[in-house]
């Protein structure tokens, strides 16, 4: 066996590679598989939340806001529990960001609310004195792209088995089912239902009117996404 | 002295001369600067050592002969002696095995670095320090701490001055505003202000004992103005008839029944921080990540604002 290997350097190299990669594989693969599994309490995004995520990406929010709480006391005091890799299981792509011009938004849904976001996106400096964040007034008139969000839901459900319409375990022991429409009309109707709940907590009359007329301004989708970040 | 040594000596002298010329001739040069002198000494040592080590091995290759018993194996006609392993190698080999076992069983498991472990230690150390320093503070220091927590956590909604930024959040300088009282009387309330579920009925469950009928719009306006005015002025009769049975005649509330509507109390604030609340202005999220002392401090600060 060993003589044979010594006479065949190519197969010797293959053998060495196999032995070394075996060690690597049993160290890395189980750990990786475990860590990338969604943690309990992480649910897929609903259609409206996903549309809000697209608004977030479209406006490059991730250029100034990170979504990654590091395990330091100063960060967990401010933002909540440090991030776990499984919490990003349904983020495609993840929006960790690499620079904090503004605060981290990983768990902003825990400590900010619909009405605050509404005030803040209209005029940031009015609520946070000295804030350099610009106002995003166009989000109150531009309409969210629900069709694209639904297309993404269909894709991830089919190719990555993202658990839509299936029970997902939550932290309190209950389960949550994130519903996805059977077709694009149904998806739009479901997103509108969700948007109505958000709009009920908002004050902008134009946004309320738009939602009552069956339209979903970007701000509503974005707030749904912000509220889902927990 | 063969010509190998002679060549080595000549090469060394040439190298040293070159070093001396290039260093001595340059600006600064060998002017007594300790770093320059050390560098030159190092260069001289390197040249001499290199030359003579090379000479030693070249000579060894020229003159050495090997002997010993050959192993049976022959690899492409290259043989191998059956010499024992040198003692130094054997010791290093055994030592490495022992170290490997120690590292595998004790060294790594006991001393390994963990980011989360460091975080946990930091947090425990910080909490211990916090408790030692602030556990027993009271009075003005507690209010000061409350103000600093307020400025870090609460001011984004309630504003630097705690006035709610023109109605964007509750004005904490008064216990209740008229629109809040009106909203609560009309719609009921269940904000766990006592720490437990204790719903207040909406207007269809609120009787005015003075009239024996459900509370009316005019009475709601009157009692809202009365409570917002700090429990004084017109509307006292409505409060006595419709509200006092739960909230007390002076609005101080009753334990397990109804919260204080006349003034903030630290317990009330702590319950809002724990459970959040939803009212006429909007939703306030829970801030249960503050520790108990910080909640107490925020309570003390907010209570102090409306005094």
Q: Do the interacting molecules here have an ipTM over 0.85?
A: no
Structural domain includes residue A158 = yes
Using CB atoms, pick whichever of A82, A115, A129 lies closest to residue B283. A115
Report the residue of A113, A197, A199, A202 to disrupt the B interface, i.e. the one with the largest count of B CBs within 10 Å. A113
- Percent of residues, chain A, with pLDDT higher than 70: 100
Using CB atoms, pick whichever of B75, B123, B153 lies closest to residue A73. B123
Per-residue pLDDT at B254: 85
Q: Are residues A218 and A144 in the same domain?
A: yes
Residues of B near A (Cβ–Cβ under 8 Å) read 75, 115-116, 118-119, 122-123, 126, 152-153, 156-157, 160, 165, 168-169, 281-287, 289
Using CB atoms, pick whichever of A72, A126, A127 lies closest to residue B119. A72
H helices within B64-138, ranges in order? Answer: 87-102, 108-111, 115-134
Long-range residue pairs from A158-166, CB within 8 A, at least 24 positions apart, any chain: A160/A92, A162/A44, A162/A90, A163/A44, A164/A44
For residue A20, what are the domain limits? Answer: 2-36
pLDDT in tens, B65-119: 877 888 887 778 888 888 888 899 999 999 999 999 999 999 988 888 889 999 9
Which CATH number characterizes residue A62's domain? Answer: 1.10.760.10
CB within 8 Å: A127 and B168: yes
Asked if residues B221 and B227 have their Cβ atoms less than 8 Å apart, the reply is no
- How close is the nearest chain B Cα to the Cα of A181, in Å? 29
Structural domain includes residue A131 = yes
Per-residue pLDDT at B1: 54
- Which chain A residues have a beta carbon less than 8 Å from that of B281? 115
* Closest residue in B to A199 (Cα–Cα): B282
Structural domain includes residue A41 = no
- How close is the nearest chain B Cα to the Cα of A66, in Å? 19
pLDDT in tens, A61-109: 999 999 999 999 999 989 999 999 899 999 989 999 989 999 999 999 9
Q: Are residues A32 and A80 in the same domain?
A: no
Residues of A near B (Cβ–Cβ under 8 Å) read 6, 71-73, 76-78, 80, 82, 110-116, 119, 126-129, 201
Q: Are residues A187 and A223 in the same domain?
A: yes
3 state SS for chain A: CHHHHHHCHHHHHHHHHHHHHHHHHHHHHHHHHHHHCCCCCCCCCCHHHHHHHHHHHHCCHHHCCCCCCCCCHHHHHHHCCCCCHHHHCCCCCCCCCCCCCCCCCCCHHHCCCHHHHHHHHHCHHHHCCCCCCCCCHHHHCCECCHHHHHHHHHHHHHHCCCCCCCEEECCCCCEEECCCCCCHHHHHHHHHHHHHHHHHCCCCHHHHHHHHCCCCEHHHHHHHHHHHCC
- Which chain A residues have a beta carbon less than 8 Å from that of B114? none
CB within 8 Å: B285 and A129: no
- How close is the nearest chain B Cα to the Cα of A158, in Å? 35
- What is the domain partition of chain B in residue ranges? 3-63, 138-305
CB within 8 Å: B285 and A111: yes
* Closest residue in A to B282 (Cα–Cα): A115
Per-residue pLDDT at B27: 67
- How close is the nearest chain B Cα to the Cα of A110, in Å? 7
pTM to 2 decimal places: 0.76
Q: Are residues A58 and A155 in the same domain?
A: yes
Q: Are residues A125 and A23 in the same domain?
A: no
Q: Are residues A101 and A168 in the same domain?
A: yes
- pLDDT tens for chain A, 230 residues long, are 778 888 898 999 999 999 889 988 888 888 888 888 899 999 999 999 999 999 999 999 999 999 999 999 999 989 999 999 899 999 989 999 989 999 999 999 999 999 999 999 999 998 888 899 999 999 999 999 999 999 999 999 999 999 999 999 998 899 999 999 999 999 999 999 999 999 999 999 999 999 999 999 999 999 999 999 98
Q: Are residues A120 and A17 in the same domain?
A: no
What does pLDDT average to over chain A? Answer: 92
- pLDDT tens for chain B, 307 residues long, are 578 888 888 988 888 888 788 777 666 666 667 887 888 888 889 988 998 899 888 888 888 887 788 888 777 888 888 888 889 999 999 999 999 999 999 998 888 888 999 999 999 999 999 999 998 898 899 999 999 999 988 988 898 888 888 888 889 988 888 888 888 888 888 888 888 888 888 888 888 888 888 888 888 888 888 888 888 888 888 888 888 888 888 888 888 888 888 889 888 999 999 998 888 888 899 988 888 999 999 999 999 988 6
Structural domain includes residue A42 = no
- How close is the nearest chain A Cα to the Cα of B297, in Å? 16
* Closest residue in B to A79 (Cα–Cα): B289
If you count residue pairs, one on A and one on B, with CB atoms under 8 Å apart, how many are there? 52
Asked if residues B272 and B180 have their Cβ atoms less than 8 Å apart, the reply is no
* Closest residue in B to A7 (Cα–Cα): B75
CB within 8 Å: A73 and B165: no
CB within 8 Å: A128 and B156: yes
CB within 8 Å: B157 and A111: no
């Amino acid at each position: 066996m060993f003589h044979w290997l010594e006479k065949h350097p190519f197969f010797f190299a293959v053998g060495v590679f196999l032995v070394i990669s075996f060690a690597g594989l049993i160290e890395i693969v189980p750990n990786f598989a475990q860590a990338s599994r969604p943690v309990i309490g992480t649910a897929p995004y609903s259609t409206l939340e996903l549309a809000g995520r697209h608004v977030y990406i479209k406006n490059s929010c991730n250029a100034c806001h990170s979504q990654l709480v590091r395990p330091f006391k100063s960060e967990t005091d401010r933002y909540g529990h440090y991030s776990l890799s499984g919490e990003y299981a349904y983020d495609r792509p993840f929006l960790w960001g690499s620079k904090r011009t503004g605060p981290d938004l990983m768990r902003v849904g825990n400590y900010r609310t619909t009405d605050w976001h509404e005030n803040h996106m209209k005029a940031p400096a009015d609520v946070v004195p000295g804030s350099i964040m610009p106002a995003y007034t166009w989000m109150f008139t531009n309409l969210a792209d629900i069709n694209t969000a639904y297309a993404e839901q269909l894709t991830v459900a089919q190719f990555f088995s993202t658990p839509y319409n299936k029970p997902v375990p939550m932290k309190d022991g209950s389960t949550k089912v994130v519903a996805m429409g059977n077709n694009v009309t149904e998806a739009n109707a479901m997103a509108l239902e969700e948007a109505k709940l958000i709009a009920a907590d908002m004050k902008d009359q134009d946004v309320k009117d738009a939602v009552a007329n069956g339209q979903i301004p970007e701000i509503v989708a974005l707030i749904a996404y912000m509220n889902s970040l927990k | 002295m063969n010509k190998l040594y002679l060549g080595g000596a000549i090469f060394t002298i040439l190298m040293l001369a070159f070093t001396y010329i290039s260093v001595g001739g340059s600006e600064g040069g060998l002017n007594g600067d300790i770093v320059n002198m050390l560098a030159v000494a190092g260069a001289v040592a390197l040249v001499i050592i290199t030359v003579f080590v090379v000479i030693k091995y070249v000579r060894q290759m020229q003159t050495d002969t090997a002997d010993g018993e050959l192993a049976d194996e022959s690899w492409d006609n290259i043989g191998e002696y059956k010499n024992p392993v040198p003692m130094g190698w054997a010791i290093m080999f055994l030592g490495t095995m022992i170290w490997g076992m120690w590292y595998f069983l004790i060294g790594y498991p006991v001393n390994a670095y963990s980011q989360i472990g460091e975080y946990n230690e930091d947090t425990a150390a910080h909490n211990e320090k916090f408790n030692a320093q602030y556990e027993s503070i009271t009075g003005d220091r507690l209010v000061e701490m409350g103000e600093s927590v307020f400025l870090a956590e609460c001011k984004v909604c309630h504003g630097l001055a705690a006035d709610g930024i023109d109605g964007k959040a509750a004005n904490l300088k008064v216990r209740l505003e008229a629109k809040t009282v009106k909203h609560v009387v009309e719609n009921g309330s269940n904000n766990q202000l006592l720490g437990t579920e204790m719903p207040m009925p909406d207007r269809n469950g609120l009787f005015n004992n003075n009239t024996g009928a459900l509370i009316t719009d005019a009475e709601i306006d009157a009692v809202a103005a009365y409570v917002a005015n700090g429990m004084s002025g017109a509307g006292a009769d409505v409060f006595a008839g419709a509200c006092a049975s739960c909230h007390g005649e002076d609005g101080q509330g009753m334990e397990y029944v109804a919260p204080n509507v006349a003034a903030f109390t630290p317990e009330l604030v702590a319950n809002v921080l724990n459970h959040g609340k939803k009212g006429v202005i909007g939703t306030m999220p829970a801030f249960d990540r503050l520790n108990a002392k910080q909640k107490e401090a925020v309570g003390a600060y907010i209570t102090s604002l409306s005094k």
